[in-house]
Amino acid sequence: MIIKTANYVGSFVELDKCPQGKAPEFAFIGRSNVGKSSLINLLTGRKELALTSAKPGKTQTINYFHINEQWYLVDLPGYGYARVSREQRGKWEAMISHFLTNREQIICVFQLVDAGIPPQTLDLDFSNWLGENGIPFAIIFTKADKRPKGPKGNVEAYQQEMLKQWETLPPMFTTSATKRIGRDEVLGYLDTILAGL
């Protein structure tokens, strides 16, 4: 896939305020500070399309980007740690849950998981939640440049943890925004999905 245009559309907190129409949508979500904005910028080839921050919890709304004037990339708030109140985190979780279970235009959710650290319960629980709710998803391991070498790396460990409950694993990709790893593979997968619609 060649991304020719990537335009910011708007930020929303309510489902009915999101763009109307039947254009396919691909949502990106992960634990706070997983490198989501950096990955979005890598995929789209735009250095500052999604704002990056060292502070977890920067994304607080549902952010829409129109890609090639054909489909939407949806940047969702991160789950997990963020320096906000428990009440605010609860509102984010409710918003994300409502969005993912009710937004008919969502074709696939890309769950971002940090390959630089061991498997986290929060990530595994979210993977299981997506599966339990029948939401199509793929996993993108970020920060692959920090991944331990050898067969017992964090990616393999995450797969083994999932296999304790899953018979078949979802599609998985390994990326690094710093080393520009995995961009073609993720875009190729998006291309395949769009071609089948």
Work out the average pLDDT over 88-109.
Answer: 88
- Give the per-residue pLDDT at 91: 77
Predicted TM-score (pTM) of this structure: 0.91
pLDDT digits (tens, 9 = 90+) for 115-174: 999 999 999 999 999 999 999 999 999 998 876 665 468 999 999 999 999 999 999 999
- Please give the Cα distance from 89 to 95 (Å, whole number): 10
Closest CA to 138 of 58, 29, 22, 34: 29
Which residues is 176 bridged to in the sheet? Answer: 181
Could you give the 3-state DSSP secondary structure of residue 149?
Answer: coil
pLDDT given at position 40:
94
**Mean pLDDT score of the chain, rounded to an integer?**
89
CB 59 within 8 A of CB 37: yes
C-alpha to C-alpha distance for 105 and 107, rounded to whole angstroms:
6
More confident residue, 195 or 54: 195
Q: What are the structural domain ranges in the chain?
A: 6-192
- Whether 37 and 94 have beta carbons less than 8 Å apart is answered as no
- Across the beta sheet with 6-12, the strand order is 6-12, 62-67, 71-75, 25-30, 106-114, 137-142, 172-174
Mean pLDDT is lowest, of 17-26, 66-75, 93-102, for: 93-102
Convert the pLDDT of each residue in 38-79 to its tens digit: 999 999 998 777 764 444 445 678 999 999 999 999 999 888
pLDDT, one tens digit per residue, over 44-54 is 998 777 764 44
**Which residues does 112 contact at the CB level (< 8 Å), separation at least 6?**
28, 29, 30, 31, 34, 35, 36, 39, 139, 140, 141, 142
CATH H superfamily, domain 6-192: P-loop containing nucleotide triphosphate hydrolases (3.40.50.300)
